[in-house]
Structure 1
Amino acid sequence: MIEIERISRAFGGLQAVREVSFTVETGSITGLIGPNGAGKSTLFNIIAGEIPPNSGRITLEGEDITGLPTHALFHKGLVRTFQIPHEFSRMTVRENLMLVPAAQRGETLLKSWLTWWKVIREDRAILRQADEVLDFLEIGHLRDELAGNLSGGQKKLLDLGRTMMTNAKAVLLDEPGAGVNRTLLGKLAEAIERLNRERGYTFCVIEHDMDLIARLCDPVMVMANGALIASGDMATLRENPEVREAYLGTGASGQAGAA
């Protein structure tokens, strides 16, 4: 699905990403882990079109998307969530979802005047889709709640719901577990698994919660000092001395087993 080939990025004299290459296979949930400062977020931002790489190439289903801006990638089916959700706080949960689909007729003044019946029909279809998404995520009871009133975990579910309002081929999840209580984290993990299993969503996930990574992701990529140092399933990576040293620090083998 996504091919990352020898991607590098420097900021002044700091080499944030060093010739990183890996593949996010179609239908997979691929994890990306590493200590703070490893280069994960920079790489994510490059893939998502936030910043361009200095060198290297990214393809989506064989198409070169290197350096394309975020809005262009959205239309190609590559979408992302953020560590800190960006909801429209003074709009309802349902309205937040209804904003997402692109090229709505009601966004054009002339079409609103001349083909108003088509605008109404389209709005009803989008409303039905939004309600289906909310029911899928088991937050239908919040549909008329202002998004700004949601808890951190509920906002993460709303963020996931917005990706479901698109024709996404691949979804980049930036620390979906950050700030989420354990109950809602379980619900969020279940929703990601169901989207992957039942609807064929492909995910790439940055996360610091190793329990969540172990539950969701195979394979898992490990970065340190801007480079990819290991990959595989979590059981294998837990036994990798280089991963223990880079990710958990010296003498942390006991912690690695606990993780």
Structure 2
Amino acid sequence: MIKIEHVSKAFGGIQAVDDVSFEVAEGSITGLIGPNGAGKSTLFNIVAGLIRPDSGRISLEGRDITGRRPHQLFHQGLVRTFQIPHEFSRMTVRENLMVVPAGQAGENLFKAWFRWGQVREQDSKVLERVDEVLDFLEISHVADELAGNLSGGQKKLLDLGRTMMTDARAVLLDEPGAGVNRTLLGKISEAIQRLNTERGYTFCLIEHDMDLISKLCDPVHVMANGALIASGPMSEIRQNEQVREAYLGGGASGRMGEQR
């Protein structure tokens, strides 16, 4: 679904992404891991249209999307979340979900004044969808809570909910497990799996929690110093000496989630 071909990006004298190529297959949950500073988030930002690459090509379902802006990619079904959720903190959870769908009639002043029936009908459909998303993610109990008051894990679930309010086909998840307690991490993991298996979402996710990567992802790609150094199932990645060297110089069994 997403094809990354020979993508490179430098900032001054620092090569943040160095000739990276891999694919995110349709229907997969693909992992992207690596030590801090490996270039993972920069690559995500390139795919998501926040940064233009110096060279290389990004395609989505065979269409070249290199350099497309985030709002253009949104309409093509590619969305991303961030390590630090970007919720509207002074709006409720329900309102955060309601504002996501594009092209709502109520956003047009003429229609808001003179076609209120159309606006009301569309709002009703959006609310139905919101309720379905809240139920799916099991966060109906915080629907009327200000989003800024949510816990870190609840905000990550809200981020997932916002992707569900779009016509997303591919979702880039940036550290969905960061700062989340184990109970909510389990809910997030379950929601990702269900969206993948029941609704056909394709995911590519950056994550430092190797247990979460092992549970969700196949294949897994590993970056270090801007370059792609390994790809494959997590069982192989754990045994890869180059990967072990990238994580703490070979003493990385604990960091890589290996059982002792």
Structure 2 letter corresponding to 1:132: E
The aligned counterpart of 2:189 is 189
The aligned counterpart of 2:206 is 206
After superposition, what is the alpha-carbon deviation per residue over 1:85-135, rounded to whole angstroms, capped at 9, x for unaligned? 011111110000000000100000001122110100000000010010000
After superposition, what is the alpha-carbon deviation per residue over 1:155-205, rounded to whole angstroms, capped at 9, x for unaligned? 000000000000001000000000100000000000000000000000000
The 2-side partners of 1:254 and 1:148 are apart by 34
The aligned counterpart of 2:173 is 173
**Per-residue deviation, 1:253:** 4.2
After superposition, what is the alpha-carbon deviation per residue over 1:196-234, rounded to whole angstroms, capped at 9, x for unaligned? 000000000000000000001000000001000000111
SS of residue in 1 equivalent to 2:250: coil
**1:43 aligns to 2:43 (yes or no):** yes
Structure 2 letter corresponding to 1:30: T
Residues 1-259 of structure 1 mapped to structure 2, 5 A cutoff: 1-253=1-253, 256=256, 257-258=258-259
8 Å CA contact 2:83, 2:178 repeated in 1: yes
TM-score, reference length from structure 1:
0.98
The 1-side partners of 2:222 and 2:230 are apart by 5
Structure 1: gaps spanning 5 or more residues = none
After superposition, what is the alpha-carbon deviation per residue over 1:215-257, rounded to whole angstroms, capped at 9, x for unaligned? 0100000000100000011111111111111124233346542
Identity of aligned residues (%): 75
Structure 2 letter corresponding to 1:241: E
The 2-side partners of 1:258 and 1:15 are apart by 34
Distance 1:254 1:36, change over 3 A: closer
8 Å CA contact 2:96, 2:147 repeated in 1: yes
The 2-side partners of 1:252 and 1:117 are apart by 61
Structure 2 letter corresponding to 1:63: R
The 2-side partners of 1:181 and 1:65 are apart by 36
The 1-side partners of 2:201 and 2:142 are apart by 24
SS of residue in 2 equivalent to 1:145: coil
Structure 2: gaps spanning 5 or more residues = none
SS of residue in 2 equivalent to 1:67: coil
Count of equivalent residues = 259
The 1-side partners of 2:247 and 2:43 are apart by 17
The 2-side partners of 1:10 and 1:196 are apart by 34
8 Å CA contact 2:210, 2:255 repeated in 1: no
Structure 2 letter corresponding to 1:37: G
Structure 2 letter corresponding to 1:238: R
8 Å CA contact 2:241, 2:250 repeated in 1: no
SS of residue in 2 equivalent to 1:249: helix
